[in-house]
């Protein structure tokens, strides 16, 4: 008795149709048609560069808008280095004295008004 093994093409995680001979992307342990590999927020097509949280795919803009932390000074999302002052977070270029506006460099001492403590 002979048995044959079927080698079916995988199903697309986006549209659930067979991938067939189409170009596809492998991500999150699944395969996707290139046209189905999209951001879960804006529905924009993703390249091989993407962000993931909770099993959902995101473009960089939507990921940081949803999960990023905002700078206390400029209200823009921080995606790089961060300066911390107590419970507040700043872009390094936005970190300045609240009284005189002087820029505070990394490693320079500063005092938090509400706690009267010196930080390094």
d(CA 54, CA 26): 17
The hierarchical CATH code for the domain 69-119 is 2.10.110.10
pLDDT tens figures, 9-26: 789 999 999 999 888 999
pTM attached to this predicted model: 0.60
Q: How many CA atoms lie within 13 A of 37 on its CB side?
A: 20
For the chain, the 3-state helix, strand and coil shares in percent, each to the nearest 5, are 10, 30, 60
Token pair 């091989």 is found at 48
pLDDT tens figures, 18-47: 999 888 999 999 999 999 999 999 999 998
pLDDT tens figures, 59-86: 988 998 898 889 999 988 888 899 988 8
pLDDT exceeds 70 at position 88: yes
pLDDT of residue 115: 55
Residues linked to residue 88 through DSSP beta bridges, in sequence order: 85
CATH topology of domain 1-67: 2.10.110
Phi, psi of 64, deg, nearest 5: -70, -35
Please give the distance of CA 119 from its chain centroid, rounded to a whole number: 30
The full set of domain ranges for the chain reads: 1-67, 69-119
Name the pLDDT band for 106 (thresholds 50, 70, 90): confident
> Is 69-119 the same fold as 1-67?
yes
């Amino acid at each position: 008795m002979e048995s044959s093994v079927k080698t079916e093409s995988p199903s697309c995680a986006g549209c659930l149709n067979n991938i067939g001979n189409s170009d596809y992307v492998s991500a999150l342990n699944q395969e996707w048609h290139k046209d189905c590999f999209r951001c879960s927020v804006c529905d924009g097509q993703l390249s091989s560069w993407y962000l993931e949280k909770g099993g959902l795919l995101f473009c960089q803009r939507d990921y940081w808008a949803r999960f990023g932390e905002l700078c206390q000074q400029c209200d823009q999302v921080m995606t790089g280095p961060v300066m911390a002052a107590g419970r507040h977070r700043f872009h390094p270029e936005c970190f300045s004295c609240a009284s005189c506006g002087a820029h505070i460099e990394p490693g320079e001492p500063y005092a938090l008004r509400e706690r009267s403590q010196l930080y390094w």
